[in-house]
Amino acid sequence: MENGNAGRTPALKRNISPFGAWGLSFGFAVGWGAFVMPGAEFLPGAGPLGTVLGILAGALAMAVVGWNYHRMTNEFPGPSGACLFAARAFGADYGFLTAWSLSLAYMAILWANATALVLLARHMFGDVLQFGWHDTLAGFDIYLGEVLLSVAVMVAAGLVCLWGKRLAWRVQAVLAAAMLAAAAICFFAALAHNTGGVAAMAPAFAPGGGGRFAQVLRIVAMMPWAFVGFEAVSHSSGEFRFPAKKLWRILLASIAAAVAMYAMLAAMPALARPEGCATWPDYIKVKSGLSGLDSISTFAAARVSLGKAGVAAMGAAMFGRLGETGLSFADNGREALEMLSAPDAPRFDLVLTDAWMPEMTGMELVSAIRADPAISKTPVYLFTAEVEMKDTFAAAGFDGMLLKPANLQSLRKLLK
């Protein structure tokens, strides 16, 4: 007897709520670039006002894209996406071309997401995962241990999506909301830290970046990359437990949240800058020579505004979690000395200090360390851009010297 269900596709469980759909869309839209691009591309290319205007203009274009995905999801109900939409509307050949185009686009940004997890792991755990096979690609060190970490996380995420779909969208939605909340906390802290008002954020546009309209267009051109993935929630339309006609409002809410996220993170470096930087262009000029997370504009602004709690909040915003780190940071030499000499202080493996800091310079810090028998044997390394100090750092009491700008490879070479 023939089975009447033969050849039919099993019905999907409809377990994704509107909040879950929003979390998926917003989570796809905002990635590692939101934390790096403000200091690397946005502010140098258009300044704070030009960046915000470009983000808003780009969001309007993304809203048009979102409206089209909403219409197609309602026109072709069930599991869908760009490939199926193109195939159903224009034929299989167009679906094939669309699939390859999207594959190449995602491959072009895969490196940013792959290295983001490794960078945070290095900040949290130091060199614990830097073992086994080692190679260098485009100046970035690759270790077998860190490759295994990335693979393990991808496998774990895949298993959750396959075996716990309801859990997957719930976790994604909660982390997306936490990411937005953490970014908002850091932004308003930076806003409170700014004592000069709007004038302190000057210049509004990037000096030497061309005309204002051209600067705004420069940001608009980046927005398809910045928002890429927000429409991918349409792939799960067969699992919506709400009418597909509501997707338009959900996509709008996702775009609005992404605009808020990008705008807040872009404005933060103009509101709160590291010591010695009177304006955000001053920070952009010196950030490549800064060490650690101060070289990432959003983390630097969060640290200035909230201290270590701000750095933790930025880490939570990136990956939805807080973690302990094997590194300790001090804002000046005196604070570093207090951390080293505290009665309950852990044993520090080394000290990496700048030459010129408020309250106590690097030379004064190393002298104080050498004068204290309890910490006098602690290795102290000078981190500076002053080449002429190569002849005097050893006499001052330093164990070594690292020239700015530096990377992980040069630091490792020094310590070896």
The pLDDT score that the predictor gives to residue 83 is 85
Residue 401 lies in a domain: yes
Residues of the chain with pLDDT > 90, as a percent, come to 16
Q: What per-residue confidence (pLDDT) applies to 291?
A: 58
Q: Is residue 213 over pLDDT 70?
A: yes
Of 159, 189, 177, give the one whose Cα is nearest residue 320: 177
| Structural domain of 374 | 333-415
- Residue that is last in its domain, among 319, 341, 357: 319
Q: What pLDDT score was predicted for residue 327?
A: 57
Give the pLDDT confidence of 29-59 residue by residue, as tens digits: 887 677 878 887 888 889 999 999 999 999 9
**Residues 290 and 353 both lie in one domain:** no
Q: Of 94-103, 227-236, 365-374, which range is least confident? A: 227-236
Inside any domain, residue 148: no
Q: Tell me: the pLDDT tens digits for 126-153? A: 678 888 888 887 667 888 988 898 888 8
Q: Are residues 63 and 94 in the same domain?
A: yes
Give the residue from 319, 350, 379 where a domain finishes: 319
∠ at Cα 195 (190, 197), nearest 5°?
90
Q: Indicate whether 264 belongs to any domain.
A: yes
Its pTM stands at: 0.66
| CATH code of residue 356 | 3.40.50.2300
pLDDT at 326 over 70: no
315 and 181 both lie in a single domain: yes
**Is 42 contained in some domain?**
yes
- The burial class, CB within 10 Å (0-12 / 13-18 / 19+), for 357 is buried
Tell which wins on pLDDT, 191 or 2: 191
Give pLDDT, residue 52: 93
Domain match, 206 and 230 both: yes
* Domain edge (last residue) among 261, 294, 319: 319
Q: Is 234 exposed, middle or buried (0-12, 13-18, 19+ CB in 10 A)?
A: buried
How does residue 366 score in pLDDT terms, banded at 50, 70 and 90? very high
pLDDT, residue 164, reads 65
Lowest-confidence region among 73-82, 144-153, 185-194, 205-214: 73-82
Instruction: Confirm whether 392 is domain-assigned.
Output: yes
Report yes or no on 13 lying in a domain.
no
For residues 320 and 19, give the distance between their C-alpha atoms in angstroms, rounded to a whole number.
Answer: 17
CA 348, CA 240: separation in Å to the nearest integer? 53
Domain co-membership, 307 together with 381: no
Domain count along the chain:
2
Check whether residue 302 and residue 349 sit in a common domain. Answer: no
Q: Based on the fold, state whether residues 223 and 343 are members of the same structural domain.
A: no
Has residue 4 been placed in a domain? no
Q: What are the residues whose beta carbons fall under 8 Å from the beta carbon of 56, sequence distance 6 or more?
A: 259, 263
Do residues 368 and 356 lie in contact, with contact meaning Cβ atoms separated by under 8 Å? no
